[in-house]
């Protein structure tokens, strides 16, 4: 099994932690970089190889990770010279990728079974599989529904339930056909294109532990929780 880790972002929302380090190398629990945790989990799940798409401060990632031998993985790199969106880096790799592979952000802390996501994708025949997580959003205001300037419904401070993308996907190489290498491709653009083509993605529903480390409060939470969750997150690693 092969995975592509997207690690080329600038980590603007996580500053000042990312001033000198790329976000995937920010330490969790003062012991492990986020990316190291991900690599150990992939190896434990049975992945043999990985491509890391790098950009901002990418040479630091390359120097830290090397060829992946420390984790029993074969690792290579794709360098993003200019921002290409979430999935744009995959277009330059298209011919080197297997028909089905895992794609994930390099700043995700989760106990998700990555092999099961890829297996579900292969079994489904879908063009794209999106790992999803339940989120409840509380609205702090009364919400109105209007029609012709008249209020026809009112809900006081409702809570809305959604399933959100976890930043982990199963993808088929053939899904990328028709897109031009070197041009940006956003995740949202691909999903909308597939829905419009009546070839919708599959949702993989997950309700375990997941934390997207995108903001300082997320990072603080990850550090606070990692000590008690370490043995579970790194089981078998």
Domains of the chain, earliest start first: 2-134+162-233 (3.90.550.10)
Give pLDDT tens digits along the chain (237 positions). Answer: 999 999 877 656 666 666 667 888 888 876 788 899 999 999 999 999 999 999 878 889 999 999 999 999 999 998 877 778 888 889 988 889 999 999 999 989 999 999 999 999 999 999 999 999 999 898 999 999 999 999 999 999 999 899 999 999 999 999 999 899 888 899 999 999 999 999 999 999 999 999 888 788 888 888 888 888 888 888 765
Radius of gyration of the CA atoms of the chain, in A:
19
For the entire predicted model, the pTM comes to: 0.87
Q: How far is CA 96 from the centre of its chain?
A: 21
Q: Which 8-state DSSP code applies to residue 180?
A: P
The half-sphere exposure of 16 on its side-chain side, counting CA atoms within 13 A, is 0
Helix (H, G, I), strand (E, B) or coil at 179: coil
């Amino acid at each position: 099994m092969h995975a592509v880790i997207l690690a080329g972002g600038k980590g603007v929302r996580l500053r000042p932690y990312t001033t000198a380090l790329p976000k995937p190398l920010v330490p969790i629990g003062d012991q492990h970089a986020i990316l190291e945790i991900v690599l150990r989990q992939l190896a434990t799940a049975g992945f043999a190889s990985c491509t890391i798409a790098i950009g901002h401060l990418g040479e630091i990632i390359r120097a830290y990770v090397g060829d992946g031998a420390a984790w029993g993985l074969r690792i290579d790199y794709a360098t993003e010279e200019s921002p290409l969106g979430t999935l744009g880096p995959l277009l330059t790799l298209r011919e080197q990728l297997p028909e089905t592979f895992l794609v994930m952000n390099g700043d995700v802390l989760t106990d998700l079974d990555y092999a099961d996501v890829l297996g579900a994708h292969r079994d489904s025949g879908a063009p794209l599989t999106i790992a999803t997580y339940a989120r409840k959003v509380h609205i702090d205001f009364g919400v109105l529904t209007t029609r012709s300037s008249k209020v026809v419904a009112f809900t006081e401070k409702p809570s809305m339930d959604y399933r959100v993308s976890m930043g982990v996907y199963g993808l088929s190489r053939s899904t990328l056909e028709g897109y031009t290498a070197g041009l940006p491709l956003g995740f949202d653009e691909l999903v909308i294109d597939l829905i419009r083509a009546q070839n919708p993605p599959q949702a993989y529903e997950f309700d375990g532990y997941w934390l997207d480390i995108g903001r300082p409060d997320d990072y603080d939470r990850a550090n606070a929780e990692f000590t008690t969750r370490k043995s579970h997150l790194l089981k078998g690693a």
